[in-house]
Amino acid sequence: MIADAIGVHRKTCHRWVREAEEDGADHLKIQFRAAVFEAHRAMASDMLKCVTKAAGDGNTWAATWMLTHHPALRDQFSDAAAERRAVQRTLSGVVAAIETADLTADQRTRLLLNLQAQGLGVQGSEG
């Protein structure tokens, strides 16, 4: 919506936001990034107000749908987001265990390859 409003392609907006995070970034890009994040924050706040109102009115289906499907909220509240967080915690635990184990570099490599072959950490697999 921001890209459409200012008449540029959305990829240009994404690039400006990325460039604003670099050392020595242009002041206008830094301001643009701040404005984009403020707009996202305001939109998420408005959506949460809608969710709260729907839930308060007894419409839990609408509240659940908004939390799990709306682009501003689904990355935090959907089942897929919860699953991604669980996988990330599992992978972090596995990596920490491997790092503290008394293994040679070759043994670590074989272990990681074996885990990958079994599907751990491969999106869309059953492992």
Alpha-carbon distances of 21 from 2, 24, 26, 84, rounded to whole Å: 19, 9, 10, 25
Q: What is the pLDDT of residues 53-62, one digit of tens each?
A: 888 898 888 8
Please state, in angstroms and rounded to a whole number, the distance separating the CA atoms of residues 53 and 66. 11
Handedness of CA 9, 10, 11, 14 (dihedral sign): positive
Q: What is the pLDDT of residues 10-47, one digit of tens each?
A: 899 999 999 999 988 889 999 999 999 898 888 878 88
